[in-house]
Amino acid sequence: MPTPRSMFKKIDRYILKKYLSSFFFCLLLFTVIVVVVDISEKTDDFAKAKLSMSKVITDYYFGFIPRIDAMLFPLFVFISVIFFTSKMAYRSEVIAILSNGVSYNRFLRPFMIGGIFLSGILWLGYQYFIPLANRKWGEFEARYIDPNYGNTGNSTYREKIFFKMDTNTYVAIRGYDTVMKAGNGFIVERFQKNKLSYNLRAENLNWDSASKKWRLTNVVERNLDSLNEHILRLPTILTTYNFSPRDLRQYEYLKDQLPTPELNEFIQMERLRGSEMLSTLLVERYNRDAIPVSVMILTIIGSVLASRKIRGGSGLHLALGVVISVMYILFSRFSLVFATKGNFTPFLAAWTPNLLFGLLAFYLYMKAPK
């Protein structure tokens, strides 16, 4: 006769196996469906670009698939938990487990282990791997599918760029081509005690990819003190500034393509410059921590809801799961809009859906028959 200790281990293995196998099956199934639909829509684009199948797979789908899977990851988790747990409840397996002296908290333990494991995978993905996939997908999209992808408006040329280089230094660029990495009308001004102390004007600005520096041409440099002004004229100089061509692109998809260490650095620079896109960057940064936590919350909600045997079985459980998933997505979208367009703080925008649905998970847990 199995001891309670061995029975607990068997229950853990059984539930974890059901949890992970259901999740990966769901993930694989939806991925195949999405890829088939995407191929049917983009076949003409691939054919016009004269791309081989291997190039499409390595340069496009190696970026597209992780991007889509990351977006739908919490939904896949929720549906898989609802699906296999409701099956267990329908077959009275949950009743059998609890009636053998296993506490409800102990019953939920393998769900928590599986949720933590999948949350960790998603967290690592968002920090390092998904941004690289987004970059690969974005570069392919810009080159072969949509030439306007990632550009400001319908052109690669930006006009009238203004930003802070540090707390006392301001930069202005009359025009800049994000593809050629070249601009004109470059101005740098530095202030000390509200007085202009340094001014640099250059006719042209070009990025030197070999030296990783900016090349300025027809330069006029002025250093001012309380009594004198020193003027230096140079045909060309090669210099370093704390911004790069990447920083001057600043299109809406850039934040998705930066691994978290680079995103943190970019946020610091944009905060120093007083950038208008700072809220959007902060929401992206906080979401990379908040979305993996949602996997745990949805695991709890799904396991508590589906572990109760009700009339309607798996169908009703899945319907409830879809409704809750849609509500979660809507709350996330509303929070994002309020943060980027209103006065909602980025931290609250990222974490409010988790807070609300965390309270829902706690309520459902307390009301669950044990």
The answer on 143 and 11 residing in a single domain is yes
Residues 61, 173 within the same domain: no
159 within domain boundaries = no
Backbone angles phi, psi at 136, to 5 degrees: -60, -45
Domain that holds residue 192: 166-250
CA distance 214 to 217: 10
How buried is 210 (Cβ within 10 angstroms: 0-12 exposed, 13-18 middle, 19+ buried)? exposed
**Are 122 and 211 within one domain?**
no
Is the same domain home to 133 and 244? no
Q: What pLDDT shows up at residue 153?
A: 45
Same domain, 104 and 172: no
Number of structural domains (the chain) is 2
Has residue 82 been placed in a domain?
yes
SS3 state at 57: helix
103 DSSP assignment? -
Point out the domain boundary residue: 250, 268, 295: 250
Query: pLDDT digit string (tens) for 168-196?
Result: 899 999 999 887 899 999 999 999 888 89
pLDDT at 28: 92
Residue 206 placed within a domain: yes
Is the residue at 291 inside a domain? Answer: yes
Residue 152, domain member (yes or no) = no
Each residue's pLDDT tens digit, 236-249: 999 999 888 877 87
> Residue 220 forms beta bridges with which residues?
201, 233
* pTM recorded for the entire structure: 0.79
Residues 8 and 60 in one domain: yes
What are the tens digits of pLDDT across the range 317-363? 667 777 787 788 777 777 777 776 667 788 988 898 999 999 999 99
Residue 215's CATH number = 2.30.30
155 in any annotated domain: no
Q: Is 274 inside a domain boundary?
A: no
Three-class DSSP category at 210: coil
In a domain, 266, yes or no: no
Alpha helices per DSSP H over 213-312: 245-249, 260-273, 278-306
| Spans in the chain with pLDDT lower than 70 | 1-8, 146-155, 250-252, 310-318, 340-342, 370
Out of 212, 230, 250, pick the residue that ends a domain. 250
Domain end call among 203, 233, 250: 250
